Amino acid sequence: MDMQGKNAVVTGAAKGLGRGIAEEFAARGARLALIDKDRAALDDTVAALNAAGHQAVAIEASVTHREPCRAAFAAAVAAYGRIDVLVNNAGIYIRTPIERIDDAEWDVIFDVCLRGVFHMATAAVEHMRAQGGGRIVNISSVDGFVPFPAMAHYAAAKAGVISLTRSFAIAYADDNILINSVAPGAIDTGPMRENGYIQKLARERIPLKRGADPREIARAVCFLASEANTYATGENMIVSGGLVVA
């Protein structure tokens, strides 16, 4: 899974899984354009990567609507000339019982988790078609097909990511752009640690009895994003420690 000479864009890369993906890609030789709305955390991630001898640039943007997404992708192209890989990782989750989900909360989940993916992928395929190919990996979730009722809106948006991935894969197969999603189970990131949530889930639902380290998910993303992947497109790779089969 060599990424030497590859230029990759990762959204939501300041923290959590996105940072793990950036570190994994960098360790394998990729140059990075990292997008996040949290400027301070993004600067911290980019500084750490560059201090370790890697090459990364920060692009501050909120990936929810067409124009900011197009501008952020254009900034990445301007930094490196060509972009070989896009990872749509930015996402948010809010736990709210179904009867208390209001329109504002519904919209914010769908804006980040689904519309942002659509607009970033649209900008990427336009660029990748012109250069003769590329790879896109969208981060979905096991919630897309094993929903937890306290996140019905998030689960629906993630099911949408899996569907969008399939549509894009069919539409751009002739352009040599392979487009897949990765569905993580529980990853040991900040939001999952609140109130001991991940420990309880691990005990009760995960055969491997722990949440994933972000780098364990990042390696799956890396395979699909690399030239080692020559035949997977429109697929959803589950990496859940056995959660979906228990």
Provide the binding-site residues for ligand NAD, judged by CB under 6 A: 11-12, 14-18, 36-38, 41, 62-64, 89-93, 112, 139, 141, 184, 186-187, 189-192
Specify burial of residue 117 (Cβ count, 10 A radius: 0-12, 13-18, 19+). buried
Q: Least CB distance from residue 214 to ligand NAD, whole Å?
A: 7
Residue 206 CB, shortest distance to ligand NAD, in Å, is 11
Is the Cβ of residue 134 or residue 184 nearer to ligand NAD in the bound state?
A: 184
- Closer residue to ligand NAD in complex, CB, 23/36: 36
* 138 and 90 Cβ atoms separated by less than 8 Å: no
CA 111 to CA 138: how far, in whole Å?
Answer: 15
CA atoms within 13 Å, Cβ hemisphere of 209: 0
- Within 8 A by CB and 6+ apart from 208, the residues are 202, 241, 242
What's the min distance (Å) between Cβ of 61 and ligand NAD? 6
Closer of 2 and 120 to ligand NAD (Cβ): 120
- Which position among 80, 154, 172, 231 bears the catalytic label? 154
Residue 154: active-site member: yes
The neighbouring-strand residues paired with 34 are 10, 58
Nearest-approach distance from CB 124 to ligand NAD, in angstroms: 15
Instruction: Give whichever of 30 and 186 is closer to ligand NAD, judged by the CB atom.
Output: 186
**Active site members:** 154
